[in-house]
Amino acid sequence: MNLIFNKKLAQGYSSKSQIARVLTENWVKENSYCPCCGEIPLNEFENNRPVADFYCKKCNEEFELKSKSGKFSNTINDGAYSTMIERINSNQNPNFFFLTYSKILAVENFLIIPKQFFTTEIIVKRNPLSVTARRAGWVGCNIDISNVAEAGKVFLVKDSKLIDKKIVETSFNKTLFLREKSSESKGWILDLMTCVDLIEKETFSLEDVYKFEDKLRLKYPNNNFIKDKIRQQLQVLRDKGIIEFVSRGNYKKMKYGNI
Ligand SMILES: [Zn+2]
């Protein structure tokens, strides 16, 4: 994987956003592989397809690319708020590639957020465009990836370093089971993943997770068995290799692409 963009392709374009689009799309096409099955290369959809940019012809996963120059941040600008919410609710969103690049036009971070991690909670409504704007009243959205569990941020390149392809594929495949879950049980598992992420220790106990009981009760006010739910979800995370069982009531976080 070569991290430098093919700058020659920028010739003939004057708009910065067009140049960025051409260079980043070409980079993904020439350098990326499918994070699900490892297939090389990814295929591009024809231009202006409303949803995805790339697909894998072996496993049929679809990918949308968002890129940004400069530092990695948690907020990604996206299109219309209502369209995004609709896509999430109807399970029609693709996986999401996020790429950041430096001033010298080289990739610094390239990660995939698998589509099962997209919930309406990570979509933030922007203010409507002002009356003087060309599209006055239009409401866009931001994707706030600080609300995405660590298991849902699978880096292929992190801080200009390549992550082992096997780690990427394993991390991507580990959470595919979430796609088969009802939205309620997926919600619980994602919430528990986020709680575990917030524990600032590699090894943690059941008691550490119980500390989130009040927070979870606010979200699930009708559930009187929060502790039971916590234990159940930890069991799921353990069975799926997302956390490791150490000893009775003690667990360990598993590392992802962020090694
Ligand atoms: Zn594939």
DSSP 8-state assignment for residue 119? -
Return d(Cα 119, Cα 231) in angstroms, integer: 23
Please give the pLDDT value at position 48: 65
Of the candidates 227, 172, 134, which has an alpha carbon nearest to the alpha carbon of residue 35?
Answer: 172
Q: State the distance from the centre of ligand 1 to the C-alpha of 217, rounded, in angstroms.
A: 39
Task: Provide the Cα torsion 48, 4, 102, 161; round to 10°.
Answer: 110
Instruction: Assess whether pLDDT exceeds 90 at residue 49.
Output: no
What would the pLDDT profile of 188-206 be if each residue is shown by its tens digit?
999 999 999 999 999 999 9
Q: Going by C-beta distance under 8 Å and a sequence separation of 6 or more, which residues neighbour residue 204?
A: 196, 250, 251, 252, 253
> Which pTM does this prediction carry?
0.91
Q: State the distance from the centre of ligand 1 to the C-alpha of 62, rounded, in angstroms.
A: 9
Q: State the distance from the centre of ligand 1 to the C-alpha of 38, rounded, in angstroms.
A: 6
In SS3 terms, 91-114 reads as CCCCEEEEEEECCCCEEEEEEEEC
Percent with pLDDT over 90 in the chain: 84
Average pLDDT (4-24) is 94
Number of domains in the chain: 2
In this structure, are residues 111 and 154 in contact, taking their beta carbons and an 8 Å threshold? yes
Q: State the distance from the centre of ligand 1 to the C-alpha of 129, rounded, in angstroms.
A: 38
Return d(Cα 157, Cα 3) in angstroms, integer: 9
Q: State the distance from the centre of ligand 1 to the C-alpha of 254, rounded, in angstroms.
A: 24
Q: How confident is the model at residue 258 (pLDDT cuts 50, 70, 90)?
A: very low
- Chosen domain end from 146, 175, 204: 175
- Strand, helix or coil at 6? coil
Asked whether residue 55 falls in the same domain as residue 168, the answer is: yes
- Chosen domain end from 175, 206, 232: 175
Q: Going by C-beta distance under 8 Å and a sequence separation of 6 or more, which residues neighbour residue 49?
A: none
Please give the pLDDT value at position 259: 40
- Residue 242 tokens read as 């997302």
Return d(Cα 63, Cα 66) in angstroms, integer: 10
Instruction: Assess whether pLDDT exceeds 50 at residue 257.
Output: no
Asked whether residue 36 falls in the same domain as residue 64, the answer is: yes
Instruction: Assess whether pLDDT exceeds 90 at residue 209.
Output: yes
What would the pLDDT profile of 74-96 be if each residue is shown by its tens digit?
998 888 999 999 988 888 889 99
Average pLDDT (168-175) is 95
Q: Are strands 43-44 and 62-69 parallel, antiparallel or unpaired?
A: unpaired
Please give the pLDDT value at position 66: 93
CB atoms under 10 Å from CB of 249, counted, come to: 14
Q: State the distance from the centre of ligand 1 to the C-alpha of 214, rounded, in angstroms.
A: 41
Q: State the distance from the centre of ligand 1 to the C-alpha of 43, rounded, in angstroms.
A: 10
Q: State the distance from the centre of ligand 1 to the C-alpha of 131, rounded, in angstroms.
A: 44
List the helix and strand counts (H, then E) for the chain: 7, 13
Q: State the distance from the centre of ligand 1 to the C-alpha of 167, rounded, in angstroms.
A: 15
Q: State the distance from the centre of ligand 1 to the C-alpha of 33, rounded, in angstroms.
A: 8
Asked whether residue 99 falls in the same domain as residue 149, the answer is: yes
Q: How confident is the model at residue 132 (pLDDT cuts 50, 70, 90)?
A: very high
- Residue 59 tokens read as 């496993």
- Chosen domain end from 157, 175, 193: 175
**187 assigned to some structural domain:** yes
Percent with pLDDT over 70 in the chain: 97
Instruction: Assess whether pLDDT exceeds 80 at residue 59.
Output: yes
Write out the residue range of the structural domain in which residue 108 sits: 7-175
Please report, as a single letter, which amino acid is at residue 87: R
